[in-house]
Amino acid sequence: MAAPWHNVGRMQGDARIADPHTVVVRTPEGEKTITGKFILIATGSVPARPKNVPFNDENVFDSTTILDMKKLPKSMVVVGGGVIGSEYACLFDAMGVKTYLLHPKARALDSLLDAEIGEIFMGRMKDNGIELLMNDSLESATVEGNMVRIKTKSGKDLLVEALLYALGRSGATEGLGLKELGIPIGKYGHIEKVDPITYQTAVPNIYAAGDVIGPPALASTSMEQGRLAMCHAFKLKYKTALAPILPAGIYTIPEISQVGLTEQDCQRDGIAYVVGKDRFGRHGRGQIIGDTEGMIKLIFDATNGKLLGVHVIGEIASELVHIGMACLAFSGDIDFFIHTVFNYPTLSDVYKYAAYDALGKLNKVRAEVVKAAENIRQHATSKPT
């Protein structure tokens, strides 16, 4: 057992939790037993592997086994337009692979993105050469020599060199012995009934964090959950709650990142809002780096100008989003962007002009509110007493 950093020992093997304080690890040298006051389960997730998909090491992969791909195929079908499927589809397309993206809904990343950003992303994928097979799903996959024949439920028949199945993931809990301890496991292998503040499971001294407990299943959030769990276990007071505002970064081509509310969230919740947008190509840095189609989209509360949401698509989107996230964190409003001086030429400067775009709309809304209030006042004072 090595202990290179922070005196943390590391052991590699297959583990099961024998009791609330004991972990048994099967290693090449035999079984070893570790005991401790607390146990943190952070085993992550594993790809779904339906029985009707003929997975193998040559040309039918899941999102883990594809990392051991032996050669780059000339053509590929990616099943699943979630984060992983979309990222891989963009990656293989960029490497010259004829790529098909098969997804059961009308838009990739449909449940994650602001609808406008989602449509822009779909257009960019199509422009990049990815063939989009939306509102369709896998009927069958058959290995034929060095090729894979794909049939979809809509009747399409494709013969490609490789298949990547990236639709769904399950919590990596198999073999851990959690049910025997009274820790409930859900349909997809995720640990259930985990305290959202302390990350304790049904067994109080056993904690769980990360993908193994389900959404949001983001690396950044998972690490923070683990820190919170151990802060609670060891009574460390410097960190007691997960940040209420969590960003999402999607490493597609183009890159996408967002934080806060979407337009659809505002519409669903009856929030009056205005939108401001500006493209990278209207700025020197966007022209210099050659990303003229990138965009920053800001959503503000129409009643008070508070920032509600930030959506970025384009180069270094996952870096740029943090400026807007900081504004959200201190409940900032449109004046933060209007009055801030950004370096020039930078992509950060796009924030200011997206805010100016929203300011005109916001002032119009405010003027209409003032006019409506004045009309009500005049109507009230004109009534006979």
> Quick check: is 41 in a domain?
yes
In a domain, 380, yes or no: no
Question: Does some domain include residue 3?
Answer: no
Classify residue 54: in a domain, yes or no. no
Domain membership of residue 286 (yes or no) is yes
182 in a domain, yes or no? yes
Burial 39-68 (b: 16+ CB within 10 A, else e): bbbbbebbbbeeeebebeeebbbbbebbee
Give the tokens for residue 277.
């947008």
Q: What is the number of domains present in the chain?
A: 3
Write the CATH number for 182.
Answer: 3.50.50.60
Q: pLDDT per position in the chain (385 positions), as tens?
A: 555 678 888 899 999 999 999 999 999 999 999 999 999 999 999 999 999 999 999 999 999 999 999 999 999 999 999 999 999 999 999 999 999 999 999 999 998 999 999 999 999 999 999 999 999 999 999 999 999 999 999 999 999 999 999 999 999 999 999 999 999 999 999 999 999 999 999 999 999 999 999 999 889 999 999 999 999 999 999 999 999 999 999 999 999 999 999 999 999 999 999 999 999 999 999 999 999 999 999 999 999 999 999 999 999 999 999 999 999 999 999 999 999 999 999 999 999 999 999 999 998 887 776 666 667 767 667 666 5
Residue 29 lies in a domain: yes
Residues 365 and 256 in one domain: yes
Q: Is residue 110 part of a domain?
A: yes
pLDDT, tens digit (0-9, with 9 covering 90-100), for 135-188: 999 999 999 999 999 999 999 999 999 999 999 999 999 999 999 999 999 999
CATH of residue 326's domain is: 3.30.390.30
221: tokens are 């959030």
273/359 same-domain check: yes
pTM of the shown model: 0.90
Q: 142 lies in which domain range? A: 60-167
66 and 115: one domain? yes
**Residue whose pair of structure tokens reads 């109080």 in the numeric block:** 204
Tell me which residue of 266, 334, 330, 338 sits closest to 298, measured CA to CA.
Answer: 334
